[in-house]
Amino acid sequence: MQLLALMNAVGYELLRRADWRELTKPHTFYTEATSTTGTWTTSSYTITGIPSTAGLSTSYQVQGVGIPNATYVTGVTSANSVTINYAPTEAQVGGQLTFQKVKYDLPSDYNSTVNRTHWDKSKRWEMLGPESAQQWEWLLSGYISTGPRVRWRLYGKYFQIWPGMNAGELLGFEYRSNAWVESAAGLPKTSFTVDTDTCIYPDRLIVLGTKLKYFEAKGFDTTALYRDYLMEFDTAVAQDVAAANLSFAPRPGTVLIGYDNIPDSGYGTDSQ
């Protein structure tokens, strides 16, 4: 049992020490939204008369006449009513409502995100983020803060976007999984539990790490073992992914209009 605990401890530490190739995964999802009707007043935080609240949750924001910006569902109180965080400024009977999901669950094996991989795949634009708490409040409360690009942040256990989107938009990003163990059946796990489990790390690295922790627990000298472990770790990380080719004389790219994408003559004239 002690060796099992030590091996798991090594695995947990290695999980965060490097961006292991086998733990990088893609995650995509479709946005959710629904249009319906309801009744609300200026003296109540409840919207009633909704034909059905099935599927709604506190992950949704709501839009409608007299409903302030960044109004969120705080509770689904019945099959036909929800509560919201702001009181409407204008009453409506049978008014049009749009519920847009803005908080999406992270993958069940989520450990960390891979930077600059977040894309609105439907519009083929990179999403902007992660936004800080201050930037997010500016988006929700500022006069001019909403543009065509999707903003994102990690909020609690959710991937949160702004502004809300129509249903069926495809968003995605890459993330690092916490499932560094694999069962004999090929299923991902987060810890060793049985003898037939394997892991994504090189065998020698996990063996040296376990021996190092065992020596530390017993009070033995770890100088040579620690050196061997660090050398094996550096080698494993270096060989896990390919290295980028770096130029000694890089040339800046022409991002927008430049000599690579304009004609030699007649630029700006109508050829028709």
Q: What are the tens digits of pLDDT across the range 145-183?
A: 677 899 999 999 999 999 999 999 999 999 999 999 999
Q: What is the pLDDT of residues 69-86, one digit of tens each?
A: 999 999 999 999 999 999
Phi and psi based region of residue 269 (left: phi greater than 0; alpha: psi -120 to 50; beta: remaining): beta
For residue 160 the two structure tokens come to: 């949160």
pTM of the model: 0.86
pLDDT of residue 220: 97
| Closest C-alpha among 20, 36, 48 to residue 205 | 20
Percent of the chain with pLDDT over 70: 93
Least confident residue range of 156-160, 162-166, 219-223, 256-260: 256-260
pLDDT of residue 36: 98
pLDDT of residue 114: 97
Please determine, for residue 141, whether its predicted confidence score (pLDDT) is greater than 60.
yes
In which band, very low, low, confident or very high, does the pLDDT at 143 lie, cut at 50, 70 and 90?
Answer: confident
pLDDT of residue 79: 97
Q: What is the pLDDT of residues 116-127, one digit of tens each?
A: 999 999 999 999
Rounded mean pLDDT, 50-58: 98
Q: Cα–Cα distance between 61 and 67 in angstroms, integer? A: 11
In which band, very low, low, confident or very high, does the pLDDT at 1 lie, cut at 50, 70 and 90?
Answer: confident
Q: Are 23 and 200 in contact (CB under 8 A)?
A: yes
For residue 54 the two structure tokens come to: 């099935």
pLDDT of residue 53: 98
pLDDT of residue 257: 67
Rounded mean pLDDT, 129-142: 94
Per-residue b or e along 9-31, where b marks 16 or more CB atoms closer than 10 Å to that residue's CB: ebbeebbeebebeebebebeeeb
Q: What is the pLDDT of residues 33-45, one digit of tens each?
A: 999 999 999 999 9
Which carries the bigger pLDDT value, residue 263 or residue 159? Answer: 159
Q: What is the pLDDT of residues 99-110, one digit of tens each?
A: 999 999 999 999
